Amino acid sequence: MAVTTMAKAINAGLRKALEDDPKVLLMGEDIGKLGGVFRVTDGLQKDFGEARVIDSPLAESGIVGTAVGLAMRGFRPVVEIQFDGFVFPAFDQIVTQVAKHNARSSGRTPMPITIRIPYGGGIGAVEHHSESPEAYFAHTAGLRVISPSNPVDAFAMVRQAIACNDPVVFFEPKRRYWDKADVDLTADITSATSPFEARIVRPGGSVTVACYGPMVRTCLEAATVAAADGTELEVIDLRSLSPLDVPTVAASVRRTGRLVVVHEAPVFLGMGAELAARITEECFYSLEAPVLRVGGYHTPYPPSRLEEDYLPDLDRVLDAVDRALAF
Amino acid sequence: MTADGGPELIQLLTPEGERVHHPDYDVDLTPDQLRGLYRDLVLVRRVDSEATALQRQGELGLWAQCIGQEAAQVGSGRALAPGDFAFPTYREHGVAWTRGVAPLQLLSLFRGVTNGGWDPQAHNMALYTIVIGDQTLHAVGYAMGMQRDDDDSAVICYFGDGATSQGDVNEAFVFAAVYNAPVVFFCQNNQWAISEPLERQTRIPLYRRADGFGFPGVRVDGNDVLAVLAVTNAALAAAREGQGPTLIEAFTYRMGAHTTSDDPTRYRVAADLEAWKLKDPIERLKVYLARSGKADHDFFAAVEVEAQEMAVALRDGCRGLPDPAPASMFDHVYSEPHLLVQTERAAFETYHSSFVGGGH
């Protein structure tokens, strides 16, 4: 066990993947000598060489498009998109090629590509550096979309993503990069929980709160405050957005009768909308209140001086919990 | 811009079928090999015309014709070694022919029974790519993989004049150049991107774009199978020897419509088509073979018979292609089990089996 930040846990996971499989390659802007703008790939080029840890030209579509060719050749590329808002030049390659190639080739040419994207706000950044575009990718068949919320999961999940034969969009909650936890850096992924399953991170009987990535810590903090008032939140870390572990959430809602979904992304057509529809269909007779959503507004991500008003925080989560309980 | 390709056009066989020489490029082919190229060109054209007819009869949803571009495709395809890998657009029927992809496999895509059609690894040819230019980056990535595998093979990547405006193609040029990737960019400039002429894509000859990226570019007569073969041989050899990419602009003409859904009479004049008919890739090789005594009447007749037999088989095969099972749409969305797809598949199958007789 070692006290490790999420950024260092991902770094250790990448290192392990590079050690374990010679077909694993890293590619991205500034990931080599600099070690990435968040230092997530720090030291990897020095130890694994420029042929395996590749500083790419400044072109996101080029990064993902060449990863497709490398995957066709039998490699397992792990590409870094420097910030959430810069993934869109690569959107075409991700949606039309990465996502569809396994189906198009009748399973002959899988696309074991991991696309790492630091996402979300709360770091006081300029425009395009704070977004949560995960729903676009979860909407696309052929992609898997996962997001760790803590260093322990990050260390396992990044390796599981790389080991997966399907393309995985791996959303890293950048404002949690510096969160620390005890991580067993010798842990094997064979014994780790599937990255495509949700996990109840705090049991409780009053209201189910489903969240992922950066919002898990926020919701756990809300649960602590709520408990002081006698309200027991059951906090579920979804971990995976595609596939979405509806059964775990449904089982919880059958116990609590109430569901609040929390994410930084805009609520309109977001993961919360999907979860609300599915839970309404599956748990209709268990629900004591409509499923409520807490998330970003239908606005561009605001200037950073306003982001505290845009992002869900402890109070907005508790407000939704109160509204759910008031029904 | 020069309509005839200008003085920089590399040519070994004139439109009149006269064998000419170029200071930098040549091929030395046996009569057998020359006849083989002729056979390729004729059979590819027959696949193309047969598929067009099948679309008119409602057997195919669409067909993208390659008529007029056979020499560019066969000449470059025949330059490839078995270990080389080709990345096509959706019009490279002649390249597919040279890679051993059965014409019926091409038709299966345009009939709508598959979004792919063949095993890319078995033919060293990627599946057709419909989004313009996307495959150029795949080609460069594949070539980067060859570098890492210490494989001294090369990649050839096809695209059209329209694609040169795409960002991905320009990014592919950058990546290939800075990594010195063993890739040959083969641009078939057929003068038209659906209705838009070359002047809507470029102010300079396309092959000269390569200069700005830092690798050589050449313009070859795309209707001259010998020149295409010679130029592609040289570019592939350079790639294999570690000299990095080359851009080949094969100067040709799209004699047909963009696809069977297109009506080129709305945007181009018949006179252009008539002028290009005089540069036909098959006719010039036939004249050369006949005049030089490398092929006789019996040979040409035998190729016609073979083409006719192939067309009949292709027609029958196309009509006999079965529709895929409805639930097969769920088969390969992912390569590992995915909860949503499993759930939807089960619901789909339950719904279908609810009909009398168990089918819908």
For residue B63, pLDDT beyond 90: yes
CB contact set of B298 (below 8 Å; sequence gap of 6+): none
- Indicate if A294 and A147 belong to the same structural domain: no
Q: Which of A191, A210, A225 is the last residue of a domain?
A: A191
For residues B69 and B97, give the distance between their C-alpha atoms in angstroms, rounded to a whole number: 13
- Give the pLDDT score at B263: 94
- The residue segments making up the domain with residue A47 are 2-191
Q: Would you say A78 and A21 are in contact if contact means Cβ atoms under 8 Å apart?
A: no
**Is B175's CB within 8 Å of A66's CB?**
yes
Residue A67 C-alpha, separation from nearest chain B C-alpha, in angstroms? 6
Q: Residue B104 CB: number of other CB atoms within 10 A? A: 18
Among A191, A223, A244, identify where a domain stops.
A191
List chain B residues with CB under 8 Å of A165.
335-336
B322/B332 Cα distance (integer angstroms) = 19
Q: Using the beta-carbon criterion (under 8 Å), do A73 and B175 form an inter-chain contact?
A: no
Listed by number, the residues of chain A in 231-290 with a beta carbon closer than 8 Å to a beta carbon of chain B are 242-246
Average pLDDT, chain B: 96
Residue B223: how many other CB atoms lie within 10 Å: 30
Considering the domain architecture, whether residues A168 and A239 belong to the same structural domain is answered as no
Pick from B145, B333, B340: CB nearest A69: B145
What mean pLDDT comes out for the span A138-167?
Answer: 98
Q: Of A134, A162, A191, which closes a domain?
A: A191
The CATH number assigned to the domain holding A282 equals: 3.40.50.920
Structure confidence at residue B132 (pLDDT): 98
Quick one: residue A239, left, alpha or beta (phi over 0 = left, psi -120 to 50 = alpha)?
left
Q: Do A69 and A76 meet the contact criterion of CB atoms below 8 Å apart?
A: no
- In a shared domain, residues A31 and A137: yes
Residue pLDDT, tens place only, A169-184: 999 999 999 999 999 9
CA distances from B210 to B214, B332, B336 (A): 6, 39, 42
Beta bridge partners of A235: A202, A209
pLDDT tens digits along A63-121:
999 999 999 999 999 999 999 999 999 999 999 999 999 999 999 999 999 999 999 99
Instruction: Examine the pLDDT at B197 and tell me if it is beyond 60.
Output: yes
Whether B80 and B98 have beta carbons less than 8 Å apart is answered as yes
Taking any CB pair shorter than 8 Å as contact, residues of chain B touching chain A are 87, 114-116, 119-121, 126-127, 129, 131, 134, 136-149, 167-168, 171-172, 174-175, 178, 331-336, 338-341
Q: Assess whether A71 and A218 both reside in one domain.
A: no
Q: What is the pLDDT of residue B360?
A: 53
pLDDT for the residue A176: 98
Given B126, B147, B167, which is nearest A61 (Cβ)? B167
Q: Read off the DSSP letter of residue A98.
A: I
Q: Which residue has the tokens 């579920």?
A: A236
Instruction: Report pLDDT digits (tens) over A122-144.
Output: 999 999 999 999 999 999 999 99
Q: Which positions in chain B touch A102 (Cβ < 8 Å)? A: 332-335
Cβ distance A89 to A59 under 8 Å? Answer: yes
The residue annotated as part of the active site, out of A129, A139, A263, A298, is A129
Residues A92, A48, single domain; the answer is yes
Closest CA to A148 of A192, A97, A190, A95: A192
Categorize the per-residue pLDDT at B359 as very low, low, confident or very high, splitting at 50, 70 and 90.
Answer: low
Cα–Cα distance measured from residue B123 to residue B92, given in angstroms and rounded to the nearest whole number:
14
Averaged pLDDT, A232-258 = 98
Do B236 and B245 form a contact (C-beta atoms < 8 A)?
A: no
Mean pLDDT across B271-300: 97
> Using 50, 70 and 90 to split pLDDT, how confident is the model at A1?
confident
A153 and A65 assigned to the same domain? yes
Residues of B with catalytic annotation? 254, 258, 267
Residues A110 and A205 reside in one and the same domain: no
Rounded to the nearest angstrom, the minimum Cα separation between A249 and chain B is: 14
Q: What is the pLDDT of residue B356?
A: 78
Contact B138 A104 (CB under 8 A): no
> Is the pLDDT assigned to residue B1 strictly greater than 80?
no
CA A136 to chain B, closest CA, distance in angstroms equals: 16
Find the helix or strand (DSSP H, E) in which A282 lies.
helix A271-282
CB contact under 8 A, A65 and B341: no
| Sign of the torsion formed by the C-alpha atoms of B322, B327, B330 and B335 | negative
Q: Which residues of B313-344 are buried (b: 16+ CB within 10 A; e: fewer)?
A: ebbeebeebeeeeeeeebebbbbeebbbbeee
Buried-state track B12-29, b at ≥16 Cβ within 10 A, e below 16: bbebebeeeeeeebebeb
CA–CA distance, B185 with B177 (Å, rounded to integer): 11
| Candidate from A62, A66, A102 with C-beta closest to B335 | A102
Q: Does residue A301 sit in the same domain as residue A170? A: no
Residue B28 has pLDDT above 70, yes or no: yes
B223-252, pLDDT tens digit by residue? Answer: 999 999 999 999 999 999 999 999 999 999
- Taking CA atoms, B279 is separated from A242, B158, B209, B285, in Å, by 54, 22, 26, 11
Residue A141 sits in the same domain as residue A210: no
Are A128 and A84 contained in the same domain?
yes
Cβ contact (<8 Å) for A62 and B139?
Answer: no
Higher-pLDDT residue of B34 and B4 is B34
Q: Do A62 and B174 touch (CB under 8 A)?
A: yes
User: Which of A156, A114, A146 minimizes the C-alpha distance to A13?
Assistant: A156
A185 and A207 in a single domain? The answer is: no
Does A133 sit behind a cis peptide bond, omega within 30 degrees of 0 on the bond before it? no
Number of structural domains (chain A) is: 2
Which regions of chain A does DSSP assign to beta strands (E)?
2-5, 24-28, 53-55, 76-80, 114-119, 144-146, 168-173, 180-183, 199-202, 207-211, 233-237, 240-242, 259-266, 292-296
Q: What is the pLDDT of residue B4?
A: 81
Among A98, A102, A101, A103, residue whose Cα is nearest residue A78: A98
CA distance A274 to A257: 18
Closest by alpha carbon to A116, among A83, A151, A91? A83
Same domain membership, residue A204 and residue A186: no
DSSP string for residues in A37-95: TTSTTTTHHHHH-TTTEEEPPS-HHHHHHHHHHHHHTT-EEEEE-SSGGG-GGGHHIII
Q: In this predicted structure, what is the pLDDT of residue B358?
A: 62
Please provide residue A305's backbone torsions phi and psi, each rounded to the nearest 5 degrees: -65, -15
The answer to whether A73 contacts B146, with C-beta atoms less than 8 Å apart, is yes
Find the CATH number of the domain harbouring A128.
3.40.50.970
Does residue B300 register a pLDDT over 60? yes
